[in-house]
Amino acid sequence: MIYSLQDINPKTYEGDMIFMYGDESAERVLPLGKREVELVKRRRSGEWRAESGERRAESGKDFVVAFDRLPSRLYFVSFDSERKGAEVQERLRLLAAEVLRLLERDGVREVALCGEGTLPEEVAAMVEGLTLADYSFDRYKSKECYHLERLAVSRVFFSEEELESQRRLWNRIYWCREWVNMPVADLNAERFADELEAVAKDLEGVRCTVMDRKKIESLRMGGLLGVNRGSVDEPRFVVLEYDGCAGVESGEWRAESGAGAPGERPIVLVGKGVMYDTGGLNIKPDDYMQEMKSDMAGAATMASVVFAAADNRLPVRVVALLPLTDNRPGGNAYAADDILTMYDGTTVEVVNTDAEGRLILADAIAYGVKNYNPRVIIDAATLTGAAVRAISTFGIAAMQTNAERELEMLKIVGEEVHERLVEFPMWKEYDELIRSEYADLRNCGTTPQAGTITAGKFLAHFAKDVPYVHLDIAGVAYFTKAQGYYRAGASGYGTRLLYGFLQMQ
């Protein structure tokens, strides 16, 4: 989609137009006829009933009505501006999805957006909703799919740079979704690492290091190597470093170079990169294996956050650690009862080979602790079905150790962008559930209960005393059917959350 700013007079504009109306004080400037104004007033008061063929978002003040202005159309978006700001913005994203469906129905590919009685952040939410709703994974389709091609926004709401910074973020979300939707036949660990390296080369302040199997073996990353043993594709360990405060090439802020001042310590992001998860020898049933191409959503999310930060030159230092492999049952696949020695020397009894994500994340977290001096480590992973069972597909299961402040900031941002967090406890009693008779830890709990928490507990062991936040995005990274302003498939969920967190630093 191409975005632009224009001077738009809603009463004289001749093309297709979206008009936002959130405040009755703007009634005198509505681009409507007398009877249309009465209809809108009745609808906002709850008196109006939907006529045949018109869509309704919800009862009350939130609705979309399409008016013919032959040869063009007016898409009138009414919303309740008296709600809390974050709630208003989320309703507008949802209404934007309604508008996009009408635009597709009518074959509209270019549209202008303006309004009265609206705030810039409300208009931004509408544009964001249109952008997120417009995404679909089309590259394998032979028939051209509908997309909104051009969106002109009234320049009274934004500067060019404000709109461009948002566009850069949305572009990174687009690519996050593309990567997650790609089948493993076309995007395995090696190819994904190559793509990340190519993107990093074009960004100022970003350094990308790609480690192959030989290097990973020299690092003794037993978790990543163990999970990879059943695959014919080599693993990769990708490190993305972005320094928005000074030249990344100097490496002055790395722990091994002696950095220690709090202001110089990076935020370390860790993303689960299981390119496809069969479950290994504990193979998944067929109804659970479909869509397992999305098991690398954590890695795609963390890479996208780093790239978005670099695009908009955020003044932060951030490192993304991305362990990449698929989990297959072939060859010399690792098995239940195996004992793996992790990067930090911890021994782990394998109880279930389908609990592989925590094994590769553990190596990456331990690597971050040893080789950087992190202010905080945050991981994102499609880790447990238990998270989905606990909170469904409406948010992220979150846990923390020594990071109360950071998690609270994430909660605040999550409410603002509607990528919400639910905090799970990390009580010491859960440690007993991952204690092993034969090794330091088990990779699964001793009971089926509290699966999301025991996974978080397992990972926290490798963070040691470093402030640590675990984000289980299993329920939100990939939707099996359309939800809100997301179509079926990858959502990019978590990118706006973590980007907003970086903005607060």
pLDDT score of 248: 46
Query: C-alpha angle 55/59/64, rounded to 5°?
Result: 35
Closest CA to 216 of 55, 367, 18: 367
User: Distance between the two ends of the chain, CA-based, in angstroms?
Assistant: 30
Class of domain 2-158: alpha beta
Name every residue whose Cβ is closer than 8 Å to that of residue 258 and which is 6 or more positions away in sequence.
Answer: none
At 231-248, the pLDDT tens digits run: 999 999 999 999 998 654
The residue from 55, 109, 155, 284 that is catalytic is 284
pLDDT score of 108: 97
Q: To the nearest whole percent, how much of the chain has pLDDT over 70?
A: 93
Closest CA to 75 of 43, 113, 39: 113
pLDDT score of 47: 60
Does residue 259 surpass a pLDDT of 60?
no
pLDDT score of 54: 46
With cut-offs at 50, 70 and 90, classify the pLDDT of residue 48. Answer: low
Closest CA to 364 of 349, 377, 382: 377
At 147-186, the pLDDT tens digits run: 999 999 999 999 999 999 999 999 999 999 999 999 999 9
With cut-offs at 50, 70 and 90, classify the pLDDT of residue 460. Answer: very high
At 354-395, the pLDDT tens digits run: 999 999 999 999 999 999 999 999 999 999 999 999 999 999
Q: Residues 296-321: what's their mean pLDDT?
A: 98
CA distance 396 to 173: 17
pLDDT score of 69: 87
CA distance 85 to 170: 21
C-alpha count within 13 angstroms, C-beta hemisphere, residue 124: 19
Q: Which two tokens stand for residue 84?
A: 């809390």
pLDDT score of 296: 98
Q: Which two tokens stand for residue 103?
A: 């635009």
Instruction: Enumerate the domain spans of the chain.
Output: 2-158, 168-503
DSSP secondary structure code for residue 230 in this structure: T
| Domains 2-158 and 168-503 alike in fold | no
Name every residue whose Cβ is closer than 8 Å to that of residue 403 and which is 6 or more positions away in sequence.
Answer: 376, 467, 468, 469
pLDDT score of 263: 52
CA distance 423 to 415: 13
3-class state of residue 114 by DSSP: strand
Ordered DSSP codes for 142-165? SSPPP---EEEEETTS--HHHHHH
With cut-offs at 50, 70 and 90, classify the pLDDT of residue 57. Answer: very low
CATH number 3.40.640.10 given to 168-503: no
Does residue 251 surpass a pLDDT of 70?
no
At 260-305, the pLDDT tens digits run: 344 579 999 999 999 999 999 999 998 889 899 999 999 999 999 9
Does residue 255 surpass a pLDDT of 60?
no
β-strand partners of 419: none
pLDDT score of 52: 38
pLDDT score of 2: 97
3-class state of residue 328 by DSSP: coil
Pairing of strands 2-6, 489-490: unpaired
Does residue 30 surpass a pLDDT of 90?
no
Helix, strand, coil fractions of the chain, as percent rounded to 5: 40, 20, 40
Does residue 24 surpass a pLDDT of 80?
no
The residue from 293, 358, 375, 496 that is catalytic is 358
Q: Residues 16-33: what's their mean pLDDT?
A: 86
pLDDT score of 103: 98
Asked if residue 235 has a cis previous peptide bond (ω within 30° of 0), the answer is no
CA distance 426 to 388: 18
The CA–CA distances, whole Å, from 16 to 4, 51, 108, 122, 154 equal 15, 22, 8, 20, 14
pTM above 0.85, yes or no: yes
What Rg value do the Cα atoms of the chain yield, rounded? 24
Torsion of CA 289, 297, 267, 235, to 10 degrees: 70
At 71-102, the pLDDT tens digits run: 999 999 999 998 899 999 999 999 999 999 99
Location of structure tokens 């350094």? 207
Pairing of strands 421-423, 150-154: unpaired
With cut-offs at 50, 70 and 90, classify the pLDDT of residue 113. Answer: very high
Q: Residues 52-69: what's their mean pLDDT?
A: 70
| Active site (annotated) includes residue 284 | yes
| Amino acid found at 137 | F
